[in-house]
A and B are shown apart, each in its own frame.
Chain A
Amino acid sequence: MAVPQVAAPPPATRRVRRSHQGWKFVGPFMIVFALVFLAPIAYSIYLSLYRNRLIGGNAFVGLDNYTQALQDSQFWSGVGRVGLFLVVQVPIMLFLALLVALALDSGRLYGKSFFRVSIFLPYAVPAVVAALMWGFIYGSQFGLVGSINDALGISLPDPLKPSLILASIGNITTWQFVGYNMLIFFSALQVVPKSLYESAAIDGAGQLRIIRSIKLPAIRGALVIATIFSIIGSFQLFNEPAILRNLAPNAITTYFTPNFYAYSLTFSGQQINYSAAVAVIMAVITMIVAYVVQLRGTKDL
């Protein structure tokens, strides 16, 4: 019987030595990366495979938590809510931010730096403080809305009622993040060479044409980045519902957003394992959506 000739493996020593050298450089980074980045993810996945019960203790349950979460109507109602929030609030916010950035960039605005700072200012307000502040404004009994009702003898709809609460939260986040996105767009516009505008003007292009054909294509990368940040931000919606829940406990459920649901599961029900599964599923959904947007946004760049 003929034994096929096996080629001798290439000498291993050279390769080993080479990889050792590399490790000395990337080692410190890899350690920190593993500890602060991979470890929490790994621990979440580990937790999500167990179930710790008040009676019966801790047991390995495989993917049970995931099957349960995928059939959990409360979880999906939260996902649906942030999805709706995403498709309505993000376009409005980015459009406003773009408008402001273009206005500032046009150079026709008086008091440009004042506007820039004042529009950016809400972003400097801590999110929790912003939510508390808007909570006071929205109060129909003792807040600003209540005072307006009293002063004018009218009856504005209660911004904290179940049918309006999502819009009210959208208003807070828009207020807070227009300035941030505006700054991204504005700085992207700043690097567009001014000579392009001059030659466009010589060619007879109006301002709208310049925006459409020069400015927007030039900041497309910034637009995609801002969109991705906003998508992630929407999926992570937490502060506003958590704070406003004190004022509108019946309009904001414990599963209002997926993040808030994970929080409630952990801290009210001690369902740490199930909460970890919800968090992992949410991370995957967010990754997929953000990735699709990135692919589409940069397709023909």
Chain B
Amino acid sequence: MSRFLKVAAVASAAVLALAACGGGDDDSSTGSSGGATVSEADVTAALEKGGTLTVWAWEPTLKDVVTKFQEKYPNVKVDLVNAGTGDKQYTALQNAIAAGKGVPDVGQIEYYALPQFAIGKALTDLKSYGAEALKADFNPGPWNSVNSGGGVYGLPMDSGPMALYYNKEVFDKYKIEVPKTWTEYLEAARKLHAADPKAYITNDTGDAGLTTSLIWQAGGKPYTVDGTNVTINFNDPGSQEFVKVWQALISEKLLAPVSSWSDGWFQGIGNGSIATVATGAWMPANFVTSAPAGSGKWRAAELPQWTAGANASAENGGSALSIMDKGANKELAYGFLKFANDGDGVQVRVDGGAFPATSKTLADPAWLADEFEYFAGQKANEIFAKSAQQVVTGWSYLPFQVYSNSVFNDTAGKAYVSNTTLADGLKAWQDQSAKYGNEQGFTVK
């Protein structure tokens, strides 16, 4: 061994030892948030006393909420950071948590990702802050979503009761009825594509969020979670219903091979080659900004049903604000959560075009009477509010849904580009998710 290599070996061994020291000291400071309860007076006192709060969120209307909040509590300074949207923010958050440094006080977390953070002990259980008393303020769907494993891990910020957005101009042109059931939807898809080979009923290149939402609407419960015991089963009747219709849409090439949120997608929404989009009630703002060409042509309708005459809906998307377990000013953070998601902040966000999770807003006549310019003056909130009431109860996501969704296209996605059936694809998705769950210490069946 040359002297140079010897030195290198010694140096790397020293670094290794340093790294070993640095890596081992987390998880020692988590005991503080356990039993102690925090009263409303404590929170008010914290708000009066003031301090600095760091909030990681990408929701655009929060900016105005922060301004209002600082007006009301001049001693508090809120540092609103956009650390990325969705996955990107979770990555940054996970890294900060792992490093034990730079963890924000408050983070925006989508409902599907919330159980993963809750089980990783990254979030503060708000039960000790009296959050359970706020249950009646929120719609049941979002409220159910922030409850995980017996704790309350955030306050719902927005929600995504689903609706069917459709291009009325296209439907009128080809004299197609707006589908009331998914079977009619399939027929409409055939009719439209036959009339204009460049037009598709919708786009889909395999979207885990849409798949789980539609299975949810069909009454499927592929995931059951009981502590660390998890079952995954895409053989249940609800999933089968979904597979039947979607397999036909795929096999008959009735889905535009365009990924959601791509430029092509917004072009298609604007030019009529994509005729419907089934998604959450937060969508209209995106239409306005990214597909202005479709303004006036589009309308909202109730989501087609799996059983004729039923009134079932599901959530797609939506997020909560949660208090990080490693954050510093927890009382202050809770004060901000209440202000933004339950208090004065809600109206600010509604005025900014957000779709809230509070039941009061959904019953507000002024809000219901809002006319959407993009939908040619349609009072779309009435449809969204109705959908919010009809969300099927009892749905739960996996405690590792973030990972699971990331491998959806590896597995179920095969059905969109090859001869693999969607049923087999979902089975592969199930197996891959189960494998990961077991590796991560869950008992997955």
Chain A CB within 8 A of B120 CB: yes
A250–B417 CB distance below 8 A: yes
Residues of chain B from 396 to 428 with CB closer than 8 A to chain A in the complex: 399-400, 402-403, 406-407, 409-410, 413-414, 416-418
Whether A34 lies near B11 (C-beta < 8 A) is yes
Q: Which of A30, A54, A140, A250 contacts B11 (CB 8 A)?
A: A30
B39 vs chain A, min Cβ distance (A): 33
Question: Which chain B residues lie closer than 8 Å to A267 at the CB level?
Answer: 87, 91
CB neighbours of A56 from chain B (8 A): 441
- Which of chain A's residues have a CB closer than 8 A to the CB of B403? 268-270
Chain A, 241-255, CB within 8 A of any chain B CB: 246-251, 253-255
Question: Known: A43-B15, A141-B264. Is A54-B119 also a contact (CB below 8 A)?
Answer: yes
Q: Are B418 and A162 in contact (CB under 8 A)?
A: yes
Residue pair B120, A142 in contact (C-beta under 8 Å) = no
Give the number of residues in B that approach A within 8 Å (Cβ atoms).
50
When the two chains form their complex, are residues A250 and B205 in contact, meaning their CB atoms are under 8 A apart?
A: yes
Residues of chain A within 8 A of B98, CB atoms compared: 272
Q: Is the CB of B12 within 8 A of A41?
A: yes
* A-contact 0/1 string along B243-286, CB 8 Å cutoff: 00000000000001111001110011000000000000000000
Given the interface contacts A54-B399, A161-B417, A162-B417, does A254 sit within 8 Å of B12 by beta carbon? no
CB atoms of A46 and B205 under 8 A apart: no
* B442 contacts partner chain A, Cβ-Cβ < 8 Å: yes
Q: Kindly identify which residue among B11, B87, B228, B439 contacts A268, using a CB–CB cutoff of 8 Å.
A: B87
* B36 interface hit (Cβ, 8 Å): no
- Within 183-206 of B, Cβ neighbours of A (below 8 Å) are at 205-206
In the complex, the answer to whether A269 meets B436 with C-beta atoms within 8 Å is: yes
Smallest Cβ-Cβ distance to B119: which chain A residue: A54
What is the CA–CA distance of A143 and B259 in the complex, to the nearest angstrom?
A: 13
Alpha-carbon separation in the docked complex, A267 to B92 (Å) = 9
Give the CA-CA distance A46 to B87 in the complex, in Å: 27
Contacts A42-B19, A53-B440, A55-B442 given; indicate if A139 touches B264 (C-beta within 8 A). yes
User: In the complex where A42-B16, A142-B258, A251-B417 touch, is A54 in contact with B400 (Cβ < 8 A)?
Assistant: yes
Q: Give the contacting residue for B12; candidates A38, A136, A161; CB below 8 A.
A: A38
Which A56-93 residues sit within 8 Å CB-CB of chain B? 56-58
Q: Which one of B16, B263, B442 lies within 8 Å of A45 (CB-CB)?
A: B16
Instruction: Decide yes or no whether A292 CB sits under 8 A from chain B.
Output: no
- Give the complex CA separation of A117 and B417 in angstroms: 40
Minimum CB–CB distance for A72 against chain B, Å: 11
Q: Is A39 an interface residue (CB 8 A)?
A: yes
- What is the CA–CA distance of A136 and B402 in the complex, to the nearest angstrom? 28
The answer to whether A55 and B436 have CB atoms under 8 Å apart is: no
B20 close to A (CB within 8 Å) = yes
Q: What are the interface flags for A18-55 relative to B under an 8 Å C-beta threshold, 1 for contact and 0 otherwise?
A: 00000000000010011100110111011000000111
Residue numbers in A under 8 Å from B440 (CB-CB)? 53-55
Smallest CB gap from A55: residue in B: B441
Contacts of B262 in A (CB 8 A): 246-247
- Decide yes or no whether A264 CB sits under 8 A from chain B: yes
CB neighbours of A251 from chain B (8 A): 417
Given A55-B228, A250-B417, do A38 and B442 touch, yes or no (CB 8 Å)?
no
Chain A residues with CB below 8 A from B23, complex form:
46, 58
How far does the alpha carbon of A34 sit from the alpha carbon of B19 in the complex, in Å?
A: 13
The answer to whether A42 touches B12 (Cβ under 8 A) is yes
CA distance A57 to B439 in the complex (A): 12
Min distance, Cβ B246 to any Cβ of chain A, angstroms: 14
Residue in B14, B256, B259 whose CB lies within 8 Å of A246: B259
Q: A38-B8, A55-B228 are in contact. Are A142 and B16 (CB under 8 A)?
A: no
Q: Are B27 and A57 in contact (CB under 8 A)?
A: yes
Q: B203: shortest Cβ distance to chain A, in Å? A: 9
Q: Which of B93-107 contact A (CB under 8 A)?
A: 94, 98
Which residues of A lie under 8 Å from residue B12 when comparing CB positions? 34, 38-39, 41-42
Tell me the bound Cα distance from A247 to B402 in angstroms.
20
Residues of B within 8 A of A (CB): 7-8, 11-16, 19-20, 23-24, 27, 87, 91, 94, 98, 116, 119-120, 205-206, 228, 256-259, 262-264, 267-268, 399-400, 402-403, 406-407, 409-410, 413-414, 416-418, 436, 439-442
Between A and B, 14 residue pairs with Cβ closer than 8 Å are A34-B15, A38-B12, A39-B19, A42-B16, A42-B19, A53-B439, A53-B440, A139-B264, A142-B264, A247-B259, A249-B259, A268-B87, A270-B94, A272-B98
A-B contacts besides A43-B16, A54-B441, A268-B407, 18 pairs, CB < 8 Å: A34-B8, A34-B11, A42-B13, A53-B441, A54-B440, A55-B442, A140-B257, A143-B264, A162-B418, A246-B259, A246-B262, A247-B259, A249-B206, A250-B205, A250-B206, A269-B406, A270-B94, A271-B439
